[in-house]
Amino acid sequence: MKMPGGGNMQAMMKQAQQMQQKLQEQIAAIRVEASAGGGMVTVKMDGHKSVLSVKIDPEVAGDVEMLQDMTMAAFNEAAKKVDEEAQGKMGGMLGGLGLPPGLF
């Protein structure tokens, strides 16, 4: 059974694979920084949501509960920023394919 367009389908699949690889590289290159408590806790994260660094102001170290809350807020904000940047990169790349929005 021969598919219509035969070779075109293979070319499209190859192009999609190349775009997927490029997108993965772009996501891996994402770097975000988020802070909480007016900069008392700062988190740096990459596109895979791996934490690159955490900075904690010594002033807040004595209040464990507040420190926990600020750390959690900074991590959540950094993760949200990664999602937003990845979404933007994906949207830009998929827009070039002419696919309907919301497909991915």
- Which pLDDT does position 9 carry in this prediction? 85
| CA-CA-CA-CA dihedral for 11, 16, 22, 26, to nearest 10 | 160
DSSP code of residue 14: H
The range of the structural domain enclosing residue 72 comes to: 29-84
Assess if residue 5 is contained within a domain. Answer: no
DSSP code of residue 92: H
**pTM tops 0.75:** no
Domain CATH for 64: 3.30.1310.10
Q: Is 37 helix (H, G, I), strand (E, B) or coil?
A: coil
Q: Please give the tally of structural domains in the chain.
A: 1
Assess if residue 23 is contained within a domain. Answer: no
pLDDT, tens only, 38-83: 999 999 999 999 999 999 999 988 899 999 999 999 999 999 999 9
Assess if residue 20 is contained within a domain. Answer: no
- As a residue count, the chain comes to 104
Q: How far is CA 87 from CA 51, 62, 78, in A?
A: 19, 38, 14
